Structure 1
Amino acid sequence: MATISELRVHRGRRAEAWLLVLAWAIAVLARGLVDYHADFLELDELGWYALGAAGLAAVLHVALRVLAPDSDQVVLPTVLGLIGVSLAEIRRLDFAYADRGRDTDFGDSQIGWVLLGALAFIVVLVVIRDHRVLRRFTYTAGILGIILYLLPAVPGLGREINGAKIWIGIGSHSLQPGEFAKILLVVFFAGYLQTNRDALALAGPKFLGMRLPRMRDMGPLAVMFAAALLIMIDQRDLGAALLFFGIFIGMVYVATQRVSWVVIGLVMFIVGAVAAGIAFPHVGARYDAWLHAMDPDVYSSGRSEQLVRGLFGMASGGLFGTGLGNGRPDLVPYAESDFIIASLGEELGLTGLMAILTLYVILVQRAMRTAIGVRDGFGKLLSAGLGFAITLQVFIIVGGVTRLIPLTGLTTPFLAYGGSSMLANWIVVALILRISDQARRPAVRAEAKPETTPAARRRPDLEEEPAE
């Protein structure tokens, strides 16, 4: 007779299978619509694409059930749904560029990156069988993360594209090291905060109902602030600095539940960003293009042309869009990468764009649910930090495209064209699912050690586990 736990696992696997079928159907339908409107629909080619997509979903489903059988059943279908929409829109842009005499193969290249990312996903699940082992490499991850973030500043190695210097050149290809640095820094933050949460949460004077940190505990915040400011000034990218600093502040709040850390962090970042905009012309130029995008002088200089074209494209999409293949997203520079959101907003409309953003909400919600359910403090912080990374990245790029905040060079996870982003985000999803497997696994472990610290008595969900 099957136990309740076995029945729950069986139902979960069946639900994931049906969700994967839905994601597969969305991918194939989107591809078919793009080919149809481009007068390029060939049923045999579409059939091979459908077969390949089904094969990829099946392989990932089996690998996940073997390597992480108790993991969340919603995350993988959500990711594949986003990728299916992305591949269709990038292929549609290839057709549009071809009509204008520009030969591109973004669609085929992105399929290759998706497959390579899926392989990285499986490798991570094979290599990391317990997420807690990453805590051994707390400071190593922090050092490597900072090095990766600063690599584009190395003369002769960094490349400036579209006004931001966040790439490094490897032969004829470009790599965005910040995409991998964010993962390493989340590991570092999780390990550091797990070890030092008592001092950060309980010590310090009170002011206006908030417990302020002691001056000696401000050291990590000051270091993160300085590093974020350096990234923003040297790489000419407010988005990378905001992502870097925002992940840290979010994880500090999860570890301490002190609003004072968030308030102090936001004040420091705003003051630093304003000061950098005044002191450094290239940072100020970004703010000027954001604040005065419609100004004829700013537009004619090219500083806000991309942003304005994207806004008009989304406006022409209206509520339900022009339909896949019926818009003109190719009129926006970098429509396949930085402005993939504007491209989808034009052809799918506000309704389609909200559906895509809902998928991101689901993905982040599952990461946060995993953080709540896992039993060790390091896993809670790690899962929450990875969720913050996805949230902030989507907010920063969507906010930039819609002119809510200054435009940056970040990529939209799983949607935008680019190998670095695709590989890094597959790794992020693999780590979330590894933690989820631990969180949802039936509790057959020995009793936890007694609560001995004030922080453990106040927040038993963050009780520190023995060192590995």
Structure 2
Amino acid sequence: MSQQNAVVKPRRNVEALLLLVALIIGIGASAMVSLDRNEALGSGFWFQAGTLTVLAAVFHVVLRVRASYADPVILPIVVALNGIGIAMIQSLDTAAGTDAGGNQLKWTAVSVLIAAAVLWFLKDHRLLRRYTFISLAVSAVLLILPLVPGVSAGDINGASVWIRLGPLQFQPGEIVKITLGVFFAGYLSANRDLILLAGRKIGPLQFPRVKDMGPMVTAWAVSVGVLVFQHDLGMSILFFGLFMVMIYVATSRGSWLLLGLVLMAGGGYAAAKIFPHVSLRIDAWVNAFDPVVYERFPGGSAQIVEGLFGMASGGLLGEGLGLGRPDLVPFANSDMIVASLAEELGLAGIVAIVSLYILLFTRGFRAALGTRDPFGKLLACGLSFAMALQCFIIMGGVTRLIPLTGLTTPFLSAGGSSLLANWIIVALLLRISDAARRPHATGPLTTEAEETVASPDRKTPAGPMPGH
């Protein structure tokens, strides 16, 4: 083994120390909610603290056994964000008389265990490349399910994006961002040379041939279909943005971004003119403080304005966890949880949370840069960007930077489907980062290694993509 490989260390002990800090943050947030309201730390608090500790320990052990070289920072960040989210939701439960915090804890347990299972049984991320077109078919089925009678949960808050699973509701679109990511990564890594074939050159930009624009047109049609049939503006932007960044990473061509922006602008303009719910959202964004727009229901700006005033009342250091009134804002524990946290933690607290997200995204991009196979690069980059774009869309809407959409904030917002999807993304990023950081054997391949490498990437060069 070379000297370069010898210095690579698993760093699981570093992760264990950071996990301890993350648990102190998450559990401490719940303790602050209780203490600020002069409530004793009862059995419910200790059960939650024990559950979070056990779940973090289980995932950490799985990493030690199955992905010992994985990034040591990703898991502690996610555990801290998840714990803060549960604390904030429980704080809102007290005023609303609900138990969304208990449900969030249950979904956290399910999500962590499923993500740990993904990490345990998926020994090599390149195996997912075998399911490129199966992932596309699964994506199509999941997107159609909310429109199927008997399965659909119907129109909820203006969008048809939910299905019923017995007593539970689930949003398949959250899983679709993973399956579409697998499809885009598999398709682009296998067809990169075809996509790069020379097309017409206009100035400094080289545009693809018309017949090579099929993938982008397909992605655009999928995003428009989500907007038309499900009335979900946020997911529509998320799906198309996911494809745009992945094809740019695959080709390094700005012409693809320009074409994508043209298609997005055209689709958005047409949607604003054709669909009332889109035009109402834009009007509520532009004219938020107009009394007529504020009082309009549905499609008014009351939620946006109340969220802005809530954040303003938080000031620099916040009202304190459990001491504010974020419950006055509609959907305070889901769509508007960023406003709720800003009110109770202040500017300092929300900057710290945004910094955790930025660190999480950069660690995902770092895993993409470190891995040597094109499929892994594209998948890690796409999944990291999907979480980053989702945060930008919802935080931008809450702060009135862009029109508000109904997306959740990863790991913070109440919602089992979002929590499950994002924990699976974390598992995949950890698997890819393990492959990126693991020392490489310099001797002949073993039989097991040959079988792992053989099928998924036999036709794909092992080195990095040109230009990256």
TM (norm. structure 2) is: 0.91
Contact 1:32 1:41 in 2 (8 A): no
- How far the C-alpha of 1:164 sits from its partner, in A, is 1.9
- Give the counterpart letter for 2:137 in structure 1: I
Look up the match of 2:457: none
* Structure 1 residue 171, shift from structure 2 partner: 3.0
- Runs of at least 5 residues in structure 2 that lack an aligned partner in the other structure: 446-452, 454-459
Partners in 2 of 1:56 and 1:219 — Cα distance?
A: 44
Q: State the distance in 1 between where 2:245 and 2:201 align.
A: 21
Question: Do structure 1's residue 151 and structure 2's residue 148 form an aligned pair?
Answer: no
- 1:90-239 to 2 correspondences below 5 Å: 90-97=89-96, 103-156=97-150, 157-239=152-234
1:83 aligns with 2:78: no
Identify if the C-alpha distance between structure 1 residues 173 and 55 changes in structure 2 by more than 3 Å, giving closer, same or farther. closer
For residue 327 of structure 2, what is the aligned residue in structure 1? Answer: 330
Aligned to 2:70: 71
Instruction: Report if aligned partners of 1:317, 1:346 keep a CA contact under 8 Å in 2.
Output: yes
| Distance (whole Å) between structure 2 residues aligned to residue 363 and residue 309 of structure 1 | 30
Contact 1:91-1:106 at 8 Å conserved across structures: yes
- How far is 1:261 from its partner? 0.5
In the comparison of the two structures, how many residue pairs are matched? Answer: 448
What code does the residue aligned with 1:122 have? A
Relative distance call for 1:227 and 1:84 in structure 2 (3 A) is same
How far, CA to CA, are the matches of 2:170 and 2:54 in structure 1?
A: 29
1-structure distance, mates of 2:332, 2:286? 22
Letter in 1 for 2:114: A
- Distance between the aligned counterparts of 1:446 and 1:183, measured in 2? 35
Per-residue CA distance 1:246-284 (angstroms, 9 max, x = gap): 000000000000011011101110111111110222222
- Maintained 8 Å contact 2:160/2:232: yes
Counterpart of 2:108, as a letter, is V
- Is the CA contact (8 Å cut-off) linking 1:201 and 1:257 kept in structure 2? no
Contact 2:36/2:320, CA 8 A, preserved across alignment: no
Distance 1:320 1:166 in 2: 37
Structure 1 residue 445, shift from structure 2 partner: 5.5
Asked whether 1:252 is paired with 2:243, we answer: no
* Kept in 2: contact 1:249–1:261 (CA 8 A): yes
Letter in 1 for 2:72: Q
In the aligned structure 2, how far is the partner of 1:200 from the partner of 1:350?
Answer: 45
CA deviations over 1:72-109 (Å, ceiling 9, x no partner): 10000010010111111011011122xxxxx3111111
Which residue type is aligned with residue 295 of structure 1?
Answer: D
On the 8 A contact 1:124/1:427 being kept in 2, the answer is yes
5 Å-filtered alignment, 1:288-299, equals: 288-299=283-294
Aligned match of 2:389: 392
Amino acid at match of 2:239: F
| Residues 415-430 of structure 1 mapped to structure 2, 5 A cutoff | 415-430=412-427
| Residue segments in structure 1 that go unaligned for 5+ positions in a row | 98-102, 450-455, 464-468
2:411 corresponds to 1:410: no
Indicate whether 1:242 and 2:237 are aligned. yes
8 Å CA contact 1:367–1:384 kept in 2: the answer is: yes
Offset of residue 150 of structure 1:
2.8
In structure 2, what is the Cα distance between the partners aligned to 1:152 and 1:51? 36
- Structure 1 residue runs of 4 or more that deviate by more than 6 Å after TM superposition: 446-449
Which AA in structure 2 matches 1:361? I
State the TM-score, normalized to the length of structure 1: 0.91
| Aligned-residue offset at 1:238 | 1.3
- In 2, distance between residues paired with 1:291 and 1:111? 37
Contact map agreement 1:38 1:95 (CA 8 A) in 2: no
Deviation at 1:394, TM superposition (A): 0.6
Distance 2:113 2:247 in 1: 32
Q: Are 1:341 and 2:338 counterparts? A: yes
Say whether residues 1:28 and 2:27 are aligned partners. yes
Q: Distance in 2 between matches of 1:443 and 1:7?
A: 12
2:356 is matched with 359
Matches of 2:99 and 2:43 in 1, distance apart? 20
Q: Give per-residue Cα distances to partners, 1:322-357, cap 9 Å, x unaligned.
A: 111111000011111111111001111111111111
Deviation at 1:45, TM superposition (A): 5.1
Task: Provide the aligned C-alpha RMSD in A.
Answer: 2.1
> 1:159·1:169 contact (CA, 8 Å) conserved in 2?
no
Between the aligned partners of 2:240 and 2:226, the Cα distance in structure 1 is 10
Name the SS for the 1:174 alignment partner.
Answer: strand
1:9 aligns with 2:4: no
Contact 2:373–2:463 (Cα < 8 Å) also in 1: no
Partner AA of 1:160 in structure 2: D
Amino acid at match of 2:39: F
**Which stretch shifts more, 145-154 or 40-49?**
40-49
C-alpha spacing 1:4/1:42, structure 2 compared with 1 (3 Å) = same
How far is 1:439 from its partner? 0.9
Question: Following the alignment from structure 2 to structure 1, what is the Cα–Cα distance between the partners of residues 5 and 191?
Answer: 36
Bigger Cα displacement from structure 2, 295-304 vs 237-246: 295-304
% same residue: 50
Residue 310 of structure 1: aligned partner: 307
Q: Shift of the alpha carbon at 1:460?
A: 4.8
Partner Cα distance (2:60, 2:308) in 1: 39
TM-fit CA distance, 1:7: 6.4
1:385 deviation in Å? 0.7
Distance 1:216 1:120, change over 3 A: same
Q: CA deviation at 1:226?
A: 1.3
- Match for residue 450 of structure 2? none
Structure-2 separation of matches of 1:445 and 1:298: 67
The amino acid that maps onto 1:87 is I
Partners of 1:421 and 1:306 in 2: CA distance: 21
Shift of 1:159: 2.3
Aligned partners of 1:224 and 1:288: how far apart in 2? 27
Q: Name 2:268's counterpart in structure 1.
A: 273
1:193 deviates by 0.3
Contact 1:150 1:231 in 2 (8 A): no
Q: Distance in 2 between matches of 1:95 and 1:124?
A: 35
Partners of 1:256 and 1:178 in 2: CA distance: 27
Deviation at 1:202, TM superposition (A): 4.0
Query: Is 1:251–1:384's contact at 8 Å kept on the other side of the alignment?
Result: yes
2:248/2:254 contact within 8 Å kept: yes
Which residue identity does 1:9 align to in structure 2? K
Alpha-carbon separation, structure 2, partners of 1:395 and 1:174: 25
Structure 1 residues 21 and 402, CA gap change in structure 2 (3 angstroms): same
Report how far residue 9 of structure 1 moved: 2.4
